[in-house]
Chains A and B, each alone.
Chain A
């Protein structure tokens, strides 16, 4: 395994997803919750989440609940990594300076 590629192509939707996570960087969000906060359709949202995860900006894990007891499938929860937090901060800082990373 080589070094993980951490560069992510920035789009407006990607920025909106990152913004939703930066509201509370320690919070874990499922795809449905990100959709509720950003309003991004599923066809765009899940590729962005997977892209950010494969770049190391996010980590994901299954919700630690028993599906039979809660009566629904377990959700996949995403969380910002320290690398993702740093990169997202840089992106938004450069974005505020008028230069998109």
Chain B
């Protein structure tokens, strides 16, 4: 019983389609209403599929809207009595300069413009959020530079006479990049020219002068590790540094080629750090530039 009741409650698609066509025809102009209803019901019979019939009925509803818009001006209405639903009255209303079609077009264009404006403003709002307070610029004071203090006992100094060699730069290390030049502590700076131009690039020679330890650079003897002095360790540690135009380190120095003693390599790194601000900047065509280069630190005991 309950299934029967549910079936009876469920809307019959055929009845819905007939109702749609009936309503569509009823809203058509009076002179065409009955004719269209009969014509549409007859043409509906040529369609068998339920979906196709539903599409046809919905199309009839749309057709009524178009016909109502078209035909009050063309088909003479038999009776001047306005329909009760007022549908035709709305269509017949004079919009002044605009017809119903123009007004609809303007309405659609306005809706699109509003949608577009909303979309643009929303996107621009989401793409440029205000910077949170914790990301605001603020002045940051640099951490105190690590002071490298190393001293030798006087007794040790008495034991050993240490030659205080000048920082010697060993044969240049292969540069990783064009501006990566090998340091040279000799008075005459090395002159480096750029690589020969390729076929595609025009000929453009840049005179590069490598930088290196400059005036005021710490003495190597101050960084000679005392255990190494005791053990008689000697060697050359090659250190790579990146220096800005003012001779200051821009990154942590690294050991390129070890001396064979980890102590001496560490001491060379300390020396390189301590020398920050006392490097000679590399130059290109006479102008100081940021650059990276390597130089050797020789630890040698005087015998």
Contacts and interface: CB of A to CB of B under 8 A. Distances in A.
A70 B43 CA distance: 14
A42 B63 contact: yes
Contact of A50 (B32, B45, B55, B62): B32
Given A41-B55, A43-B58, A51-B70, A75 B43 contact: yes
Given A50-B32, A51-B70, A73 B45 contact: yes
Contact of A54 (B35, B46, B75): B75
Contact of A41 (B32, B41, B59): B59
A73 B55 CA distance: 20
Interface residues of B, number: 27
Contacts of A51: 70
Nearest to A33: B46
B217 interface: no
B87 to A, nearest CB: 16
Contacts of B42: 30, 32, 63, 72-76
Nearest to A63: B42
Interface in A61-90: 63, 72-76
Interface in B48-99: 55-56, 58-63, 66-67, 70-71, 74-76
Chain A contact residues, majority secondary structure = helix
B36 interface: yes
A47 interface: yes
B38 interface: yes
Nearest to B65: A43
Contacts of B46: 30, 32-33, 36
A46 B39 CA distance: 10
A31 B55 contact: no
A51 B40 CA distance: 17
Contact of B71 (A5, A33, A54, A76): A54
B210 to A, nearest CB: 76
Chain B contact residues, majority secondary structure = helix
A42 B74 contact: no
A8 B36 CA distance: 21
B75 A46 contact: no
Given A32-B46, A42-B63, A73 B71 contact: no
Contacts of A45: 59, 63
Nearest to A74: B42
A47 B32 CA distance: 11
A42 B56 contact: yes
B43 to A, nearest CB: 4
Interface string B7-37: 0000000000000000000000000100110
A75 B39 contact: yes
B66 A43 contact: yes
Contact of A31 (B43, B62, B75): B43
B62 A43 contact: yes
Contacts of A30: 42-43, 46
B71 A46 contact: no
A1 to B, nearest CB: 8
Contacts of B38: 73-74, 76
A88 to B, nearest CB: 19
Contacts of B67: 46-47, 50
16 contacts: A30-B46, A31-B39, A31-B43, A36-B46, A42-B55, A42-B59, A42-B62, A43-B58, A43-B62, A46-B67, A54-B74, A72-B42, A74-B42, A75-B42, A76-B38, A76-B39
Interface of A: 1, 5, 30-33, 35-36, 41-47, 50-51, 54, 63, 72-76
User: Which 8 A-B pairs have CB atoms at the shortest separation, nearest pair first?
Assistant: A42-B59, A43-B62, A43-B59, A32-B46, A73-B42, A32-B43, A76-B39, A47-B66
